[in-house]
Chains A and B, each alone.
Chain A
Amino acid sequence: MTPLLQITNLHASIEDREILKGIDLSVNAGEVHAIMGPNGSGKSTLASVLAGREDYTVTEGSVLFNGKELMELSPEERSREGLFLAFQYPVEIPGVSTANFVKTAVNESRKHRGQEPLEPAAFLSLMRERMALVEMDPSFLQRSLNEGFSGGEKKRNEIFQMAMLDPVLAVLDETDSGLDIDALRIVASGVNALRRADNATIVITHYQRLLDHIVPDFVHVLWNGRIVKSGDKSLALELEQRGYDWLKQESAVEA
């Protein structure tokens, strides 16, 4: 089976400082991968590079997504091809309603697939249905996107957008940060409801607690720009107990 995502020897820098130093990762359809690691290990950089943030320069390696070289696509093309990034810090957009934003985004993707825009009524009922997944009140639709939303509301809004765009691969960048336990449960159940045999999820997180709710098939530890250890969900539990220091020492010895 061809992997959905195949990252090979990925190097990326920001302002001449190399952050990713040779990432190799394959993600198959139906899988959930967790990427863990201490602060500054390159987790969010990996998410940003996958989504196409232009602050980063990819200096080496390749990323095949559904057989296409991701690095040759613009951020919007990546989205239309089915990649979704849930932001660690969703941006507040005064004056653009959540409904308008989501509608524009969904119709761009539909256009890309040669589909007609959704009828307003069908669209509204779809939005309401998907909002229910993350227990978001429909009144959020008319509010300016993320403006004045609490941390939890912003993250739920990210998962709502994910549900609307129905991506092939979702990358959740520290979606658990700033969430209380109830919001964490709501967000996780939203993500779980969207899991299917034909899509995949990469969960980037610092802590194990999100993985109690979104159970990964694989756990990878990122340290100093490389994946230094991979395992199943028990690795996350081990990290929770032992911290990251033993891995840092191990990888230092290997290097």
Chain B
Amino acid sequence: MSTHPLVELAQRLVPAHVVDGTLDSSDGRLDALRREGLREFVRMGIPTTRHEEWKYTNLFPFIGLDYTYVPVRWSEGAPTADARTTMTEVASALGRHISIRIVDGVVEADLKHVPVGVEVLELTSEIVESNQDVARTLGSGAPIGSHPFAALNTALLESGILIRLRSGVKCELPIHVSVETTANASTLIAPRMLIIAEEGAEADIIHSSHTSGDATVLDATVVEASVAPSAHIRYYKIADDSDASRSISSVTADVHRDATFTSHALSIGGRFVRNDLAIRLCEPSSQGFLYGVSLLSHNEYTDNHTVVDHMVPHCHSEELYKGIYDGSSTGVFNGKIYVRPQAQKTTAYQSNHTLLLSSKAQVQAKPQLEIWADDVKCSHGATMGQVDEEAIFYFRSRGIDEATAKALLTYAFVSEVAEKISLAGLRELVMRRIARRLSAESILA
């Protein structure tokens, strides 16, 4: 069997001393991780639709392209890249914020206004070696042994973004990480982000991706978050105007006592989005909130694979994903909830609701609850269907045409999740984008 071009590329990109681990002096934590990543990626290879976790995720149309890898590197000096994408819209919706842009691989962080106690650093081998918390966290969440693209990302890990919130720091300014790619040739990028929230820290982190070129951008992003006791992290992953992007991401969060991790997966314009999100509730009274909006049309694809792992007693999780699928788009939702034997008094709720606006659109929904504890409250619900005909008639009988009625009803359907976004500007942007997609901007007036 011949080696897949992407595997070959990874093998070419990882230097021999990393693969062999021969140079003792430089063989630190990062190299060891990379070695493990490469080994696992080579072992797993490219998943096919025969693989249960990738059953509906057909990578075949783009995975064999001749990719050029664009590594993440930090720029010196002032930002230079011009914004040719919708990134500016997201940025302006956020108002004053901390901006970290990765433009064709080049990191441009505008750190003038970063408050005391908020650190945005390049994730390097030196940082890993000299910071125990970084060394401990990096690679501890990402599913390197089971997710081929998390393994690929790890194999290629030379530089990344470290966001560290020092103890008790509440970052008033949202932190926006935008990944912008303007490639003219098939490009592989593998951004890596590590979020360390120390005790009592709090922040909103927005992670958006945008493309403006014609060439395919394969984006294998990995985000790991460690949320210390009483810390609160709200993480927003936005796929917006990224037609050329094939985004396969892994986001993991370890949540400790009295801490929360809230995730919003906002797919409002992504050609191909595969989000893997895993939240581990690892100490009592930790909470996970998972929200998702997928608004798809044409031949777009969004696939949300989520895992909530209730490892200990007295934790709470809430999950609400809504999808609106038009054209010949496909949405996938796979929601796993694990409640370990010792995780008594767990409350875990999951719901996933879908509206199909076209007969060619499709949805695959799979709730998967595995509950080994007996004193728990868990529920899940999944619905899929069309806009209620009786409701449409009610609108029409009041002079509102069918298309507007459908748009209003669809908008109402999805607004329940969008309303969970606590950043007002971002919430309005998402609502506006949804209204625009539904050609129903007038309803916002």
List residues of chain A with CB under 8 Å of any chain B CB. Answer: 51-54, 74-76, 78-80, 84-85, 87, 90-91, 93-96, 100-101, 104-105, 108-109, 112, 144, 161, 165
Is A79 a contact partner of B396 (Cβ separation < 8 A)?
A: yes
B195 to chain A, nearest CB (A): 33
Judge whether B391 and A93 touch: CB under 8 Å.
yes
Contact B443 A100 (CB under 8 A): yes
CB distance A105 to B394 under 8 Å? no
Decide: B411 and A95 in contact? CB cutoff 8 A: yes
Chain B residues positioned under 8 Å from A105 (CB to CB) = 395, 398-400
6 A-B pairs with CB atoms under 8 Å apart are A53-B393, A54-B393, A74-B402, A90-B394, A96-B412, A108-B400
How many CB-defined contacts (below 8 Å) exist between A and B?
75
Known A-B contacts A93-B391, A95-B415; the reply to A76 vs B396 at CB < 8 A is yes
Chain A's closest residue to B416 (CB) is A95
Chain A residue at smallest Cβ distance from B413: A95
Taken residue by residue from 390 to 432, chain B's Cβ proximity to chain A (1 for < 8 Å, 0 otherwise) reads as 1101111111111010001101110110000000000000000
Name A74's contact: one of B396, B413, B416, B443 (CB within 8 Å).
B396
Residues from chain B with a CB closer than 8 A to the CB of A94 are 412, 416
B415 & A161 in contact (Cβ 8 Å cutoff): no
Indicate the member of A54, A85, A93 with the most B CB atoms within 10 Å: A93
Measuring CB to CB, which residues of chain B are less than 8 angstroms from any residue of chain A? Answer: 388, 390-391, 393-402, 404, 408-409, 411-413, 415-416, 442-443
B residues near A85, Cβ cutoff 8 Å: 397
Residues of A within 8 A of B391 (CB): 91, 93
A112 with B399: CB separation less than 8 A: yes
- Within the complex, the shortest CB–CB distance from B236 to chain A, in Å, comes to 21
From A74, A87, A91, A104, contact of B404 by CB (8 A): A104
Q: Which 6 A-B pairs have the closest CB atoms?
A: A95-B412, A79-B399, A75-B396, A105-B398, A108-B399, A91-B394
Whether the Cβ atoms of A76 and B415 lie closer than 8 Å is no
Q: Are B409 and A93 in contact (CB under 8 A)?
A: yes
Nearest CB in chain B: distance from A101 CB, A: 7
Chain B residue with minimal CB distance to A108? B399
Complex Cα distance, B397 from A52, in Å, reads 8
Q: Give the CA-CA distance A144 to B394 in the complex, in Å.
A: 14
CB-CB under 8 A from A93, the residues of chain B are: 391, 394, 409, 412
